[in-house]
Amino acid sequence: MKISKITIFSSLLMLLFAATSTSCSDSLDLGPIDYYGSESYWKTEAHAEGYIDGIHKHLRDAAWQHTITFGELRGGHYITGTSGDGSSVSGGSIASQNFDANNTGVSKFGDLYGRITNLNLFIARVTDADFIGEAKKNYFLGMVHGLRAFYYFDLYRTYGGVPLRLGIEVIDGELDPTKLYLPRATPAEVMTQIKSDLQKSLEYFGNVNSFNPYGMGNKVYWNKAATESLIGEVYLWNAKVTTGNNTANPDDLAVAKQHLLNVVNNYGLSLQNNFADVFDATKKANSEIIFAIRFDEGEATNAFGQYVYNIGTGQTSNSAYLEDGSLFVDPLQVAGAGSMQRYEYVQGLFNKFDVEDSRRDATFLAAYNKDEEGNLVYRGTHVRKNIGLINNSGIRVWIGDMVFYRLSWVYLTLAEIANMEGDNAKVEEYINIVRERAYGDNWAPEFEFEAGDFTANELAILAEKDKEFVQEGQRWWDIRRMTLTKGGKPLVFTQQASFNGVPILDEATEAHKLLWPIDRALLDNDDALEQTPGY
């Protein structure tokens, strides 16, 4: 069956109909999530620029999954059951590591293949196009190859080997289901493709280090610094983590280090003086941000209202107490904001913070009960780290940006690399850069980190990241990548990474749960796919 080259809208309808009529495209959600499938669209620079906007809108749609579902919920630092505000929490099955062939966390590979197909379409239509200036075209291609590497890296870390869909067969030519079926590539093949896209991204970006060379939006469009940050993340992962037939390669450490040093030195970045300012919704795209997902009033809001109390139906407001003993009466001004506590962190995470650490009160608002003697008893916490702002109507709106990369992450990643290299001086330097900002005026010799052996350093880096990156999608990846000894078991199998003394995963019976299973509907609809090993 041919796709008629008629209007863009009709092309999409036909393409979506075809997608639902063929099991493979249905199962992988291969149809592009937009109206730009027809070749008649690709005629002007404005078309390409509009498509770049659409690609980033689709990235925003996937930001919660990337950050919270994939990066946070399995980290062992979320409560399950009922929140301190009395609401049932969300994501409990994932947080409880309840994975089997019938409980897969997400379906259809997290619906990432539609987004990947959009990127493939841009590459196919624009790479050799003459309707856009060469410099701008190259910059856009740098974005798109970087984003394709980003999506495939999420898939790689989540599933291991996955289908490599790099063309636009679903859009052009024969919609032959037998051609659309794709088996899972090996982990080594997926990693090779990720690295290839990252290299192409760098080549297309060239010497353009600006965050906003074409005036489209500062630090909210994928940029060269984001690609170099992703290179650091990918190559550090590949230096430490073996997945299937892809054996960890320690030589990748040097590549990760060089590109992260480039990020530190070549983009005019600096830490904000105050930790809270990093997430101030009136200070977006500040000096610390490398790449973030933009939210604006009247356009889109994030879902972080699910981390705070509800003053109407919740059980905290007007019945609990603040740390100073005063009554808890809407201290975050969420009246009318539609908040509901569906996610809450464990008390052990809150207890990690020193009172002198500014991140404690910039991140959490603790609530307490009182015992019969009037003593405060911990009740729970609410996250106020990325809480948006009060608009002109006096209503809190959840428009804080979701940060994917920022400078303090680069420093702590460099600390992890230095630990692998046995360079204690650099481990100390990078951790203390972050700590000194966190303690601010309270900074004192007692808070300065002094390096020890590999294990002590690795655990110190994890502890620092736990406090620095609450709600930023780091911990699950950290405990999968970081180890007690070089080349040893990942921290997810150890008591040291746990908040309750029990390893998050039992190495003897749950090692397969490092990767996620594929849902049955996907397997039933695509004979080329096989289940993740162990399920």
User: What pTM does this model have?
Assistant: 0.93
The 3 state secondary structure assigned to 238-292 is: HHHCCECCECCCCCHHHHHHHHHHHHHHHCCCCCCCCHHHHHCCCCCCCCCEEEE
CA dist 301 to 110, 194, 305, Å? 21, 31, 10
Q: Which amino acid type is present at position 439?
A: Y
What are the tens digits of pLDDT across the range 269-305? Answer: 999 999 999 999 999 999 999 999 999 999 999 999 9
Residue 36: predicted pLDDT: 60
- Ramachandran angles phi, psi of 40, nearest 5°: -65, -15
Residue 37: predicted pLDDT: 60
Residue 181: predicted pLDDT: 80
DSSP string of 457-511, one letter each residue = HHHHHHHHHHHH-TTSS-HHHHHHH-BSSTT--BGGGSGGG-SSSS-SS-HHHHG
- Contact yes or no for 490/503 (Cβ under 8 A): no
Could you tell me the domains of the chain? 1-71+107-208 (1.25.40.390), 76-101+295-400 (no CATH)
Residue 177: predicted pLDDT: 60
Closest C-alpha among 262, 274, 269 to residue 288? 269
- Contact yes or no for 438/275 (Cβ under 8 A): yes
Residue 38: predicted pLDDT: 63
Closest C-alpha among 62, 182, 175, 156 to residue 111? 62
Residue 531: predicted pLDDT: 98
- Taking only the tens of pLDDT, the chain with its 535 residues reads 122 222 223 233 223 322 322 233 334 555 454 456 666 799 999 999 999 999 999 999 999 999 999 999 999 999 999 999 999 999 999 999 999 999 999 999 999 999 999 999 999 999 999 999 999 999 999 999 999 999 999 999 999 999 999 998 767 655 566 667 899 999 999 999 999 999 999 999 999 999 999 999 999 999 999 999 999 999 999 999 999 999 999 999 999 999 999 999 999 999 999 999 999 999 999 999 999 999 999 999 999 999 999 999 999 999 999 999 999 999 999 999 999 999 999 999 999 999 999 999 999 999 999 999 999 999 999 999 999 999 999 999 999 999 999 999 999 999 999 999 999 999 999 999 999 999 999 999 999 999 999 999 999 999 999 999 999 999 999 999 999 999 999 999 999 999 999 999 999 999 999 999 999 999 999 889 999 999 9
